Chains A and B, each alone.
Chain A
């Protein structure tokens, strides 16, 4: 079966995120909203797996093997797994 695994690659909580800070300041704060914003990059990996759990594991393993995130500063999160 093919699954689409949605990955978010974002800066670790302790690492400053100027893009998120700018969106927060210029859009949310300007609108009078007290909302924290962190930016990330979404990649959708469509891959073969026997089930959702395996798809998720495969995607995360590949993400680190191919350094989709830099382990020094990034987290890689699975946001969603869906049948492709």
Chain B
């Protein structure tokens, strides 16, 4: 059985949604407290959404400096698939594992809604089962999701209609085996509870297939 870590910081709140989504895809996630996370133990790692360290300083800025993220960096360099969702994406940009930054929404404020997202990069461990350009529904819930690029970047996913002023409508960025997404694929996996459908399910199935390789 593959080991998929679901990394938890104080303030992370998307962890159980991720564990459930992994389970629906046939994977078993392991909830790992950040102090216990060590590189070299896991086949994939997910940084869920939430408000790590209360968003003190800046969303993701404190978690990005923890030893756990240093271990995630080592795993990423070894080719371990790494996914940051929402606050997880913010942590990955703050840590420099992904380029650019996630700045406050324009117009400002917290947005929580279902939205259409186009999957552009279907070469990542988390997106290879999607069709290139496939449009899916996923929910967003964030106040700092306006992508500001820095140098070159790969827009793995884009909003069909940008809700937050993100540069070039960027909703997700990939660098090799590392993916960051502002939309929440873990909340779009189950027809019974996801009113917007199951557009996120293929992401988890993609990871499952990838790990079999």
Contacts and interface: CB of A to CB of B under 8 A. Distances in A.
Size class of A's contact patch?
A: 10 to 19
A18 B106 contact: yes
Contacts of A73: 101, 103, 148, 150
A22 interface: yes
Identify whether the interface residues of B are mostly helix, strand, loop, or mixed: loop
B131 to A, nearest CB: 32
A9 to B, nearest CB: 8
Interface stretch (A30-38, A48-56, A64-72): A64-72
Size class of B's contact patch?
A: 20 to 34
Contacts of A68: 57, 61
A52 to B, nearest CB: 25
A1 interface: no
A68 B94 CA distance: 10
Contact of A18 (B99, B100, B101, B105): B105
A67 B61 contact: yes
A15 B101 CA distance: 11
Interface string A24-44: 000000000000000001000
B128 interface: no
A70 B104 contact: no
Closest CB pairs A-B (n = 5): A18-B108, A72-B150, A73-B101, A72-B101, A70-B101
Interface of B: 57-58, 61, 64-65, 93-94, 99-101, 103-108, 146, 148, 150, 165
